[in-house]
Amino acid sequence: MEHYAGLDVSLKEISICVVDRDGKMIARGACPSDPEGVAGWFRNRSLMPRRIVHESGNLSIWLQRGMTRLGLPATCIDARKAHKSLSARLNKSDASDAEGLAQLARTGWFTEVHIRSEEADRLRCLVGARERSIRLRKDLEGHIRGVLKTFGIRMVGIGEGRQRQAFRDQLAAAGATDPVLRAIADGFISAHATLCKVADDLDKAVKKRAKAHPVARRLMTIPGVGPVNALSFIALVDDPGRFSRTSDVGAFLGLTPKRHQSGEVDWSGRVSKCGDGAMRGLLFEAASCMIGQVKRFSPLKSWAVRLAGRRGFRKAAVATARKIAVLMLTLWKNGTDYQWTKEATA
């Protein structure tokens, strides 16, 4: 007989429910939150469900990979869409949610979530660590500037020379004027130097990884696309075969307008902004850079500049960001470089 299982995952324990093809409950229980615990729970009851579903969450990637390695037919489903069904139940509990997930597994009324490869997650961790270190450095500098303005000390702009040594020199000079500022400067100068060193090392690592990655080198031939954009896009998409049409990546990144249609009402609004916000921001920066800073003209830049003249810079940058995303996926699938004289068709 065919069995279907639902897993409601928490940090320490997983609630499990198994139903048959008619929706009748066969077994219910709990196990530790790890793939071996799930496999052992089914093995002790001599059960091998046809499908096991669990919602996307903090542990979902690790659990999915572990259960797949153990031979369990596990599927990670979209938690937002599953919530629509689970919220219709009268009582809310882990056991009730597990039963609801088991019923979804039986009926097939769910949306499967793509689980990225470990290599893609490594790229995301590298790019994310670089972004976080830069943000911490900026937060520290902003805090210091605000504190010193209270005493009438206004720090001037600084460059990247010697890992922003000019900022530390100004902070040291400010510390010489007051004992309290000296205590602050002594602690923050070393912290700032460490953050600058970490950010610089991670930036070099990102550039080195992009230079060695064949797909990243290909994507960086597009005007405005740099190492961070290329690696972030590769890590997010992971598998270009996920999209049957390259134009679908625009909706995946939230760069297409929202639409509402009901009866005689039919309107399109702003872009949906669903999906990865960081990648959307990087694409917007790439589009802005291409429109305003890239000197060499191409069919893509000519189209973007004309659109900016008609609709304004921001709308043109958003539309160009979507076009760049489609173009990146197209080059990835085709295995070709960007042609400055002839734009790749999407």
pLDDT tens, residue by residue, 215-271: 999 999 999 999 999 999 999 999 999 999 999 999 999 999 988 888 878 788 889
For the chain, what is the radius of gyration of the CA atoms? 26
Residue 178 in this model has a pLDDT that exceeds 70: yes
Cα–Cα dist 236/231, whole Å:
9
Cα–Cα dist 224/324, whole Å:
9
Confidence of residue 88 (pLDDT cuts 50, 70, 90): confident
Q: Reduced to 3 states, what is the DSSP secondary structure of residue 31?
A: strand
Cα–Cα dist 53/259, whole Å:
31
The sign one gets for the Cα dihedral 76, 82, 87, 91 is: negative
Cα–Cα dist 127/115, whole Å:
19
pLDDT at 162: 76
Average pLDDT over residues 16-23: 95
pLDDT at 43: 95
Residue 83 in this model has a pLDDT that exceeds 70: yes
Give which of 243, 251, 246, 248 is closest to 272, Cα–Cα: 251
pLDDT at 342: 55
Average pLDDT over residues 186-198: 94
Confidence of residue 345 (pLDDT cuts 50, 70, 90): very low
- Residue given tokens 């490594």 in the structure block: 122
**Each residue's pLDDT tens digit, 27-76:** 999 999 999 999 999 999 999 999 999 999 999 999 999 999 999 999 99
Average pLDDT over residues 185-193: 94
Residue 346 in this model has a pLDDT that exceeds 60: no
Average pLDDT over residues 99-116: 94
What are the residues whose beta carbons fall under 8 Å from the beta carbon of 114, sequence distance 6 or more?
238, 239, 242
CB 246 within 8 A of CB 344: no
Cα–Cα dist 277/274, whole Å:
7
Cα–Cα dist 215/217, whole Å:
5
Cα–Cα dist 199/202, whole Å:
5
Instruction: Supply the mean pLDDT for the chain.
Output: 92
Average pLDDT over residues 126-131: 96
CB 46 within 8 A of CB 26: no
pLDDT at 69: 95
Q: What is the largest CA-CA distance in the chain?
A: 82
pLDDT at 339: 85
CB 224 within 8 A of CB 148: no
pLDDT at 195: 95
Distance, C-alpha 142 to centroid of its chain: 26
Least confident of 88-92, 166-170, 173-177, 184-188: 88-92
pLDDT at 265: 81
Residue 201 in this model has a pLDDT that exceeds 60: yes
pLDDT at 313: 95
pLDDT at 266: 79
Residue 343 in this model has a pLDDT that exceeds 50: no
Report yes or no on whether pTM surpasses 0.95.
Answer: no
Cα–Cα dist 25/103, whole Å:
10
CB 6 within 8 A of CB 100: yes
Residue 329 in this model has a pLDDT that exceeds 80: yes
Average pLDDT over residues 161-188: 91
User: In what side-by-side order are the strands of the sheet with 13-20?
Assistant: 25-32, 13-20, 3-9, 51-55, 74-77
